[in-house]
């Protein structure tokens, strides 16, 4: 059983760090305003500033920033301010026992998948796959904003077609721990000591800016690594394509070709990932995927 972090209270302080690519000062104001809108205070990490290049500081600076927030007794949650690229470079520099001894809410998605998988596994801690406090277009939509309420009280998430149409890819019902996230970052763990553990788990896939050939390549990597046969089921989120040559339906058809031989319950169409809305979910908790009824029920992420 994974550790559930303590729920937030109005007036709590959250730490805002950037472990990936640089953050523009223009978007920072929107993110901080949303934190205040939630009734929270914030502390900014040293990486929340402009850097030249494609990383928000050195690997050592970013890891130290994260550790400082973990050790700070005032900080009750850590929000990752930006995705992009870079967090994979620090996952071997993070002290997972330190986080297990100081369990806190970890929130973010996209590149943050590399952190989610390791914290779930090595800190034995539930984390949250959710949007980065604001979207590239500005304020988050109403549903995405409401999903932050799961940090303030234990809420069981019932994802149904009331949000958006869903598609049964492979029928059946399965219960298991929910893991996964960005497909590119999951594949990036293969062959390393940080390789994602999917055995008997329900795996989420989503991605952005990839061509169908690249998605095919990544699915084949998972097949060759025997991850597809080890998993218990699959939740297919959004795939925001890099061009309009192929549709989402084309991507699902290709993915189906990889998953069909293993006959694991699979549903596609979830508004989870680089999309609007971006429905936030806890990772590391038990979930029930009912592919026949096209529902996903997820246990609360906080205690």
pLDDT of residue 244: 79
Q: Which of 92, 121, 151 is a domain's end point?
A: 151
pLDDT of residue 50: 62
Total domain count, the chain: 2
Token look-up 């590391």 returns: 284
Determine whether 60 is an active site residue. Answer: no
Q: What would the mean pLDDT of 194-212 be, rounded to a whole number?
A: 96
Residue 264 included in any domain = yes
Residue 202 included in any domain = yes
Same domain, 120 and 176: no
pLDDT digits (tens, 9 = 90+) for 14-73: 999 999 988 877 778 888 999 999 999 999 999 887 676 899 989 999 999 999 999 999
Same domain, 82 and 171: no
136: pLDDT strictly greater than 70: no
pTM for this predicted structure: 0.96
Instruction: Indicate which residue of 88, 110, 123, 134 is catalytic.
Output: 110
Whole-number Å distance between alpha carbons of 303 and 301: 7
Same domain, 124 and 239: no
29-43, 218-232, 238-252: range with highest mean pLDDT: 218-232
pLDDT digits (tens, 9 = 90+) for 159-182: 999 999 999 999 999 999 999 999
pLDDT of residue 245: 84
Residue 3 included in any domain = no
Per-residue confidence at 281, pLDDT binned at 50, 70, 90?
very high
More confident residue, 286 or 246: 286
Domain around 193: 157-298
Whole-number Å distance between alpha carbons of 2 and 232: 18
Instruction: Indicate which residue of 134, 135, 177, 274 is catalytic.
Output: 274
Instruction: Indicate which residue of 116, 135, 144, 206 is catalytic.
Output: 206
Residue 2 included in any domain = no
Same domain, 163 and 288: yes
Whole-number Å distance between alpha carbons of 193 and 186: 13
Q: Which of 107, 122, 151 is a domain's end point?
A: 151
Same domain, 136 and 253: no
Residue 277 included in any domain = yes
Q: What would the mean pLDDT of 275-296 be, rounded to a whole number?
A: 97
Per-residue confidence at 138, pLDDT binned at 50, 70, 90?
confident
Same domain, 33 and 90: yes
Ramachandran class of 208: left when φ > 0, alpha when ψ lies in -120 to 50, beta otherwise: beta
Determine whether 274 is an active site residue. Answer: yes
CATH number of domain containing 164: 3.50.30.60
78: pLDDT strictly greater than 80: yes
Same domain, 143 and 239: no
Pick from 8-12, 15-19, 131-135: least confident: 131-135
pLDDT of residue 87: 94
Look up residue 107 and give its two tokens. 């929130």
Residue 6 included in any domain = no
Same domain, 94 and 120: yes
Same domain, 136 and 164: no
Determine whether 253 is an active site residue. Answer: no
pLDDT of residue 126: 98
Whole-number Å distance between alpha carbons of 72 and 164: 40
Same domain, 120 and 174: no
Same domain, 38 and 116: yes
Q: What would the mean pLDDT of 230-257 be, rounded to a whole number?
A: 92
Whole-number Å distance between alpha carbons of 237 and 156: 19
Q: Whose CA is closest to 178, among 108, 277, 283, 250?
A: 283
278: pLDDT strictly greater than 90: yes
């Amino acid at each position: 059983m994974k550790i559930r972090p303590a729920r937030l209270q109005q007036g709590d302080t959250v730490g805002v760090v950037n472990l990936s690519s640089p953050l523009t000062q223009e978007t920072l104001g929107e993110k901080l305003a949303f934190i205040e809108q939630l009734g929270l205070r914030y502390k900014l990490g040293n990486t929340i500033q402009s850097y030249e290049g494609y990383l928000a500081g050195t690997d050592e600076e970013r890891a130290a920033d994260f550790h400082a927030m973990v050790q700070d007794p005032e900080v009750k949650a850590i929000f990752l301010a930006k995705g992009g690229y870079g967090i994979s470079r620090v996952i071997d520099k993070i002290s997972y026992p330190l986080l297990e001894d100081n369990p806190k809410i970890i929130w973010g998605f996209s590149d943050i998948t590399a952190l989610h998988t390791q914290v779930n596994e090595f800190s034995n801690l539930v984390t949250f796959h959710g949007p980065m406090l604001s979207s590239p277009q500005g304020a988050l939509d109403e549903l995405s904003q409401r999903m932050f309420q799961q940090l303030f009280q234990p809420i069981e998430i019932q994802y149904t077609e009331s949000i958006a149409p869903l598609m049964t890819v492979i029928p059946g019902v399965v219960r298991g721990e929910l893991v996964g996230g960005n497909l590119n970052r999951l594949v990036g763990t293969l062959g390393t000591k940080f390789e994602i553990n999917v055995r008997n788990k329900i795996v989420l896939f989503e991605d952005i800016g990839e061509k169908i050939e690249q998605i095919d390549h990544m699915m084949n990597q998972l097949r060759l690594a025997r991850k597809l046969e080890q998993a218990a089921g699959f939740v297919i989120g959004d795939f925001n394509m890099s061009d309009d040559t192929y549709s989402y339906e084309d991507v699902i058809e290709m993915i189906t070709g990889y998953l069909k031989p293993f006959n694991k319950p699979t549903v596609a169409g979830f508004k989870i990932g680089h999309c609007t809305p971006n429905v936030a979910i806890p990772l590391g908790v038990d979930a029930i995927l009912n592919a026949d009824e096209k529902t996903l029920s997820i246990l609360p992420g906080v205690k």
